[in-house]
Chains A and B, each alone.
Chain A
Amino acid sequence: MIIKRKVAVVGAGLTLFRRRMQETSRELAWEATKMALETAGIELKDVECVVMGSAPDAFDGIHMKGENLADGCGGWRKPYTRVFVGGGTGVFVPIAAWWHVASGHFDICLAVAEEKMSPCHPHPQWAFHTIFDPILSRPLGVNLIWIFALEMHRYMYKYGIKKEDIALVSVKNKANALDHPCAQLAAKITVEDVLNSEVLVWPVQRLDISPITDGAAAIVLASEDVAKKLTDSPVWIEGVGWCLDSRYWTNRDLAYPKYVEYAARMAYKMAGIHNPPKEIDVAEVYDPFDYKELHHMEGLLLARKGEAPKLTKEGVTQRDGDLPINPSGGLLGVGNPIAAAGLMKVCEIFWQLRGEAGKRQVPGDPRTGLAQAWGDLMQIGTVIVMRA
C-alpha cells in the first residue's frame, strides 16, 4: 500500500450546537462552511469538490436530503457527494474527502457535516426506531437507548465495572465543555448528579447520554503543494480506517467493539503507528453515552480491555493527563448533532494540533491526534489519524 499523495486539513468551521436553532439546515451548513473557507483563506470558487454528510433523512423529513442541502454546503455547480454511515458519518466525511484529494483528481475539497434533529416529532428517537429490521425488531417498539442499555450492561458485567466509574466520563466531558464556545451542555457536575438523574433504560440515566442538537461543522482539505501555500501549519491526514460489522447485532460481542479495532488498525497501519497509547497525544473518541468513551478507548487500543475506567479514574484522560480524551467536551458536553458531532471532533484535533484550542489546549505541544466515530446499528467504526 503506497499512498501517493499527502492530504492536509487547512481550515475548520463550526456553528453553535443547540436544540431548536432558528436557522434552516442549509443556513447551518453554510455558516460552518463559510467559517472553514475563511480560516483556510480561500473562497468558494477555489473549492473543486464537496463531500457532505448528514444522518437519517427522517430527522429533516426530506427525501434525498443531500440534494436539498447542496448549495448550503457550497455544492453549487460542483462535483458534490453525500456519504452516509449512520452515526459514523461525521468522521467518514473527511475520510471520503481524503480519497478525493489523495486520488490526485482534486487539490481542494470541502467536507461539510450538518444535522438538524430538533424538527423530528415527537422525538428523534422515533426516527431511530426505523433503523431496526422491520420484521425481527421493529414490532418490539425498540429505540436506540434500549440496545445501548444492553451493551452498557454487558460491558459492566463482563469487566465488573461500576456505574460510578462510568459516570466520571460524563463529569469530565461536561466540565471540559465549559471552555468550548459552541457547547450545549457544559456543566460542573458530580458523580452523584449522574447517579441521581432520571433513569431512561437501566443502566442508562439522563446524564449518561448526549442531547438532541442542531449544528454543522466543516473543514477544508488540500493537497500537499496547495496546503503549503495556504498555511504554515497544515495538519496532515496520515491514516484513515473504517469497518462495518454484520447487520445481526444480536450475534455480536457487545462487550468489545471489534469493528472499531479493525478500523483503528487500518488507520494505524497507514499512519505507521505501532504503539497507540504512546504515539497518540490527544484523542477525540465518540462519546454519545459515557460508557461509549471507555468502550471505544479499548477498541482503539488506547486502553486494554476493561481498563479504560481505571485510566479515567486515575485522571490519565483529563485534559492535562498523559492521554487526554475528548478535550473538547465531546458529545456529552458540546452536543450531538449526529454527523456534525463527528466532524466537530476532527475540527478539535485540527485546533489542538495547531495549538489553536485556546482554553481547551492540551499541554505538551501535541503532534499526533485521533478522531473516531461510531454508528449504524452499533456496527461501524470510523477513525482518522492526524499529525501536525
Chain B
Amino acid sequence: MTRRVAIVGVGYSDFRPATPDVAFHEMMFEAAVKAYEDAGVNPRKDIDSFIACSEDYWEGFSIFDEFVPDQLGAVLKPVCTISADGMYGVINAYLQIRTGAFDIVAVEAHSKASDIVNMWHVMAFAFDPIINRPLKMHPYVIAGLEMMKFLKDSGNTEEHCAMVVAKNKKNAMKTPYASYGSIISPEDVLTSETLFHPLKKLDASEFVDGAVVIVLAAEEVARKLTDTPIWIKGVGWCTDTPWLEFRDWSRAVYAEMAAEMAYKMARIHEPAKQIDFAEIDDKFSYKELQHMEALRLCRKGEAGLLVEEGVTERDGDLPVNPSGGFLGVGNPLEAGGLVKILEAVLQLRGEAGKRQVPKAEVAVTQIWRGVPTTSGAVVVLGRE
C-alpha cells in the first residue's frame, strides 16, 4: 500500500486565444511529444495506459474518445476518456498506478474553445432540461448569484475580487503560456462592464486554446527516469449536487470535501503553514477567494484580507496562482486542471524562470468544473 507515484514529464502546446492554424490533434501531438521527451519515455513501448479528459459538447463530437489514440502514440493500447477536467485524469492515473498493474500512465486534456461558435448556448445545455433550461438564462447568471451570496456571507468585498484580477493578470505577464497578462488596477476591474451584478466583465476569465500532457510513474520507475520527480502526496475529488435549488451558494462544499480528502492523504493538518504556494481555480475572481477559504489556506472570511495585504502575491508568504491563473492564462476548459498541475510541477522543479516563487516544496492544486456544476478536485504535490 505504499507505492508512491510521481509526475515525471510535462508538455504543453502553445496557449493562444485562437488557433485557426492547428487542429486539436496537432495540439495534442505537440504537447505529447514534449511531455514524452521531458519524461524520456517512448509511448509505444513504455507507457502502460493513457487517459484523455474531454466532454463531447466542447468537442462537437458524440464520442470524442475515438479521436484520441493516434496523436498520443496510443494505438492498440489501454486508452480511456474521463469525462471531466484533466485533474480527474491525473487522479485516475494515480489510482491505476497504485493498483500495481501499471507503471507509467499519460494524461491528456486540451481546449479548442475558439472552435465553439455558440459557447453560451453550449454551456446552457448543462442546465437541467426540465427545471432550469426553460428560464433561458445565460450560464454566468449562476456566477453572479453565487458571487453575491459568497461576498455577503463571507464579508469579502468586490474590491478584493478586483485585486485578485489585478494580481493574476500581473503574474501572467511573466508566464510564457499566458494569453491575458496585463497591468491593470482594481479600479479598471470595478469600472468594467457589469455582466450579472456584482460580476464584472474583468472578473470572468476568457477562454483559451491549448493542450497539456502529463506523464506519471511509479516510484521505482520514476527514480530511474528523472532526478526531480514531483510526488503526488494527496488526491481528492467531490461532487456536491447538480441542483441549483439545493446547493450551498456561499461555500464551495465540493472543494472543502476534496481538500479534506487530499490533505488527510498528504498528512497536511495546517494547510496555511504546510503549503508553500497554491494553484487554484479562478475562473471567476471571487472563486479564488472562495477556494482559498475552502482549502483552509486562510480562515473563513479572511481571503480578501490576505490578497489586500499582498500575502498571495508571487513574493508573498503564500503565493496563489503565480502562473496568473485562469484570469491571466485563460480558461482552457477541461485542460484547466492540467495547467494548474503543470505550473506547480515547473515551480517545484525550480524551472519556472522569472516567475519562480521563493519557496517551493509543497503545493496544492485545485480545480472546479465551472458553471453550473459543483464538482472539483484537489491534488497536493511535493518535492519529497
Contacts and interface: CB of A to CB of B under 8 A. Distances in A.
Residue from the set B56, B236, B253 with the largest chain A CB neighbour count within 10 Å: B56
B241 A244 contact: no
A83 B81 contact: yes
Given A82-B82, A243-B76, A67 B65 contact: no
Interface in A272-329: none
Given A61-B129, A81-B88, A244 B60 contact: no
Interface in A49-104: 55-58, 60-71, 75-86, 92, 96, 98-100, 102-104
Given A63-B123, A92-B80, A79 B69 contact: no
Contact of A380 (B65, B129, B239, B258): B65
B257 A77 contact: yes
A381 B96 CA distance: 18
Nearest to B89: A81
A375 B63 contact: yes
A61 to B, nearest CB: 6
B135 interface: no
B331 interface: no
A3 B80 CA distance: 20
A105 B80 CA distance: 21
A229 interface: no
Contact of A77 (B61, B63, B240): B240
A258 interface: yes
Contact of B95 (A65, A99, A244, A248): A99
A247 B74 contact: no
A342 B75 CA distance: 23
A4 interface: yes
Contacts of A258: 76
Nearest to B3: A4
B239 A86 contact: no
B79 A244 contact: yes
Interface string B7-51: 000000000000000000000000000000000000000000000
Nearest to A119: B129
Residue from the set A58, A66, A70, A84 with the largest chain B CB neighbour count within 10 Å: A84
A183 B265 CA distance: 45
B237 A379 contact: no
A262 interface: yes
Contacts of B61: 130-131, 134
A377 interface: yes
B182 interface: no
B42 to A, nearest CB: 18
B78 A81 contact: no
A245 interface: yes
B83 interface: yes
A55 B63 contact: yes
B82 A83 contact: yes
Nearest to B49: A242
A38 interface: no
Interface stretch (B97-105, B173-181, B190-198, B311-319): B97-105
A152 B332 CA distance: 41
Contacts of A129: 62
Given A104-B1, A245-B69, A130 B60 contact: yes
A63 B57 contact: yes
A105 B97 CA distance: 12
Contact of A64 (B55, B76, B81): B55
Nearest to B55: A64
A131 to B, nearest CB: 4
Contacts of A79: 236-239, 258, 261
A155 interface: no
Given A78-B238, A84-B65, A247-B69, A67 B126 contact: yes
B100 to A, nearest CB: 5
Contacts of A5: 99
Contacts of B92: 81, 96, 99
B251 interface: no
A55 B61 CA distance: 12
Given A3-B100, A266-B78, A71 B241 contact: yes
B369 A67 contact: yes
B126 A62 contact: yes
Contacts of B220: none
Interface in A220-273: 241-248, 258-259, 262-263, 266, 270
Contacts of A247: 66-70
A246 B70 contact: yes
Contacts of B79: 242-244, 380
A245 B63 CA distance: 14
B137 interface: no
Nearest to A87: B63
Residue from the set A1, A66, A241 with the largest chain B CB neighbour count within 10 Å: A66
B122 interface: yes
Given A3-B101, A56-B62, A62-B126, A78 B239 contact: yes
B119 to A, nearest CB: 11
Contact of A377 (B66, B238, B375): B66
A67 to B, nearest CB: 5
A85 B65 contact: yes
B125 A61 contact: yes
Nearest to A105: B95
A245 B75 CA distance: 5
15 contacts: A71-B242, A71-B243, A76-B240, A77-B238, A77-B240, A77-B241, A79-B238, A82-B82, A83-B81, A83-B82, A102-B101, A103-B95, A103-B98, A243-B79, A377-B63
Interface of A: 1-5, 24, 55-58, 60-71, 75-86, 92, 96, 98-100, 102-105, 127-131, 133-134, 241-248, 258-259, 262-263, 266, 270, 375-377, 379-380
Q: Which 5 A-B pairs have the closest CB atoms?
A: A63-B125, A103-B98, A244-B79, A56-B62, A80-B239
Given A62-B126, A79-B258, 11 more contacts: A64-B126, A70-B241, A71-B241, A77-B238, A78-B238, A83-B82, A83-B83, A103-B94, A104-B98, A244-B80, A376-B66
